[in-house]
């Protein structure tokens, strides 16, 4: 299993705070299992 810590911004996702969390991936036979938990604060607008 491979684990990553996330702490930063994404270019295509506008957020008020950096993304913080973890991501893990495990290769098992022909399948790849990915699990993650990420937190941030985003400002949303309704364009109706």
pLDDT at 47: 86
Cα dihedral sign, 28-2-40-46: negative
pTM: 0.68
pLDDT at 10: 92
pLDDT at 48: 83
- Residues 25-35, buried b or exposed e (16+ Cβ, 10 A)? eeeeeeeeeee
Short-list 47, 39, 48, 46, CA closest to 13 = 39
Angstrom CA distances, 24 to 5, 7, 21, 32, 38, stand at 9, 14, 10, 10, 12
- Give the pLDDT of the chain (48 residues) as one tens digit per residue: 999 999 999 999 899 999 999 999 999 999 999 999 999 999 988 988
């Amino acid at each position: 299993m491979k684990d990553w810590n996330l702490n930063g911004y994404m270019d295509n996702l506008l957020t008020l705070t950096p993304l913080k969390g973890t991501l893990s991936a495990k290769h098992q036979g022909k399948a790849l299992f990915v699990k993650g938990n990420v937190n941030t604060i985003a400002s949303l607008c309704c364009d109706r």
